[in-house]
């Protein structure tokens, strides 16, 4: 089952999640958690709560949209690549693929694109193709720093690409 949970209050989601998971029956499959990269949302989780942490791919993409006007060529590489990934995800939903089928589909179709994006980001940063402290460099570093969480959909059945459905519900 998929549950989208939003709790308002003074705590960060990581703190709220720890409180919630205290009530969970032991021995259940790991929880797939989606969060932004705010450390308060991704740390603070007691070791006894096994979870798979996904990071929101749209947050990564948004970093490039924010600097698009200043770096249209570079940002287009990321934005267009991620648009293809989202197109593939739409196909998995249209075809009503189960989590295992969806994972296999993304591994076949999306993994090469994501590998290309990672290679391009790494080459641009390490090859001095972009100033690391520029707004574009910061967007690139964000993606690479959080790569593992941003690409869980390529490794974990049922892992979402983003938490857009929850954010839309909040608005």
What is the tens place of the pLDDT at every residue in 52-110? 788 899 999 999 999 999 999 999 999 999 999 999 999 999 999 999 999 999 999 99
Dihedral of the alpha carbons of 86, 56, 150, 161, in degrees to the nearest 10: -30
How many other C-beta atoms lie within 10 A of the C-beta of residue 36?
18
Mean pLDDT computed over every residue of the chain: 85
Tokens of 119: 């290679």
Could you give the CA distance from residue 68 to residue 52 in angstroms, rounded to a whole number?
31
pLDDT in tens, 7-27: 667 766 666 777 777 777 777
Asked whether the predicted pLDDT for residue 37 surpasses 70, the reply is: no
Identify any residues that bridge with 51 across adjacent strands, giving them in sequence order: 31
CA-based nearest residue to 151, from 61, 55, 11? 55
At 47 the pLDDT is: 46
pLDDT range class, residue 42, cuts 50, 70, 90: low
In which band, very low, low, confident or very high, does the pLDDT at 139 lie, cut at 50, 70 and 90?
Answer: very high
Strand 31-35 vs strand 51-55: parallel, antiparallel, or unpaired?
parallel
Q: Is the separation of the CB atoms in 132 and 125 below 8 Å?
A: yes
- Beta-carbon count within 10 A of 58 CB: 18
């Amino acid at each position: 089952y998929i549950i989208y949970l939003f709790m308002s209050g003074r705590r960060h989601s990581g703190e709220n999640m720890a409180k919630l998971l205290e009530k969970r029956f032991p021995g259940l499959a790991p929880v797939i958690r989606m969060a932004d990269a705010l450390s308060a949302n991704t740390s603070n989780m007691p070791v006894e709560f096994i979870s798979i942490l996904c990071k929101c791919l749209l947050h990564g993409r948004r970093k490039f949209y924010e600097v698009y006007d200043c770096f249209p060529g570079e940002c287009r590489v990321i934005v267009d690549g991620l648009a293809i990934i989202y197109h593939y995800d739409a196909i998995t939903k249209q075809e009503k693929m189960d989590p295992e089928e969806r994972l296999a589909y993304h591994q076949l179709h999306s993994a090469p694109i994501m590998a290309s994006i990672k290679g391009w980001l790494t080459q641009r940063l390490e090859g001095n193709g972009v100033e690391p402290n520029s707004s574009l460099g910061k967007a690139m570093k964000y993606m690479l720093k959080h790569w593992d969480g941003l690409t869980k959909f390529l490794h974990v059945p049922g892992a979402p690409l983003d938490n857009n459905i929850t954010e839309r519900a909040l608005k």
